[in-house]
Amino acid sequence: MTETPLTHEEQSLLGNRLADAAKKAKLTCLLGGIIYLVLLTTPQKFLPGPSPDTGAGYVFLTVTIFCAIFLLAYLSDLRYFGLKKDVREKIKIAARTRITRIIRAAIDNDSEEIRTVFYTSMQEKTYQKLYWMEGSLHDFREGDIINFECAKHSNILLSISKP
């Protein structure tokens, strides 16, 4: 496994991904804030949980809303902080490994956008799950040995090939 600097094209690609992740983060926070305001203004007698007379109802409501915000952030698959580190450090990892599992997941059914996730047999746990963000890759199968370059912190594949 070797570390090399990112090219300008790869920096641009990661910058675009960072901008997309920032939009998703803002949308998630906005949605969470709206849910929080709606539940805060809803009469407490209609909400499940502790009685609002003790003050525990508001604590319960706040904790529930923050859990919902974090769940939304997790479900939107934010790689914001890893991408931010990658754009700042400008380092990529190059290595060779075997694919142990491939998952092709739909991101947007309307545009038929699909992301491919590769699980690898790398010793370093950080790089056992790699993401290809530019559609589905059908040239690779489980058990194939691959050469790859990925962003150091976000594990987004920049290039992938068979040796």
Shared-domain flag, residues 120 and 101: yes
Q: Helix (H, G, I), strand (E, B), or coil: what is residue 35? A: helix
Q: Is residue 107 part of a domain?
A: yes
Question: Which of 38, 63, 84 delimits the end of a domain?
Answer: 84
Q: Is residue 2 part of a domain?
A: no
Confidence (pLDDT) at 75: 61
What whole-number percentage of the chain has pLDDT above 70?
79
- Alpha carbon of 106 to those of 89, 97, 116, 132, 136: distances in Å? 30, 25, 9, 12, 9
Shared-domain flag, residues 71 and 18: yes
Confidence (pLDDT) at 117: 86
Confidence (pLDDT) at 77: 59
Shared-domain flag, residues 14 and 73: yes
Shared-domain flag, residues 79 and 11: yes
Shared-domain flag, residues 118 and 77: no
Q: How many domains does the chain have?
A: 2
Confidence (pLDDT) at 65: 76
Identify residue 37 by its one-letter amino acid code.
Answer: L
Shared-domain flag, residues 13 and 80: yes
Q: Is residue 11 part of a domain?
A: yes
Question: Which of 84, 114, 133 delimits the end of a domain?
Answer: 84
Which DSSP category does 48 fall into?
-
Confidence (pLDDT) at 40: 72
Distance CA 113, CA 108 (A): 5
Shared-domain flag, residues 71 and 17: yes
- In the chain, which stretches have pLDDT less than 50? none
Residue 55 makes CB contacts below 8 A (sequence gap 6+) with none
Q: Is residue 127 part of a domain?
A: yes
Give the tens place of pLDDT for each residue, 51-71.
Answer: 556 666 677 777 777 777 777
Shared-domain flag, residues 44 and 104: no
Write down the H helix ranges in the chain: 8-41, 56-75, 80-89
Q: Domain span at residue 72?
A: 7-84
Q: Is residue 70 part of a domain?
A: yes
Shared-domain flag, residues 104 and 68: no
Question: Which of 63, 84, 105 delimits the end of a domain?
Answer: 84
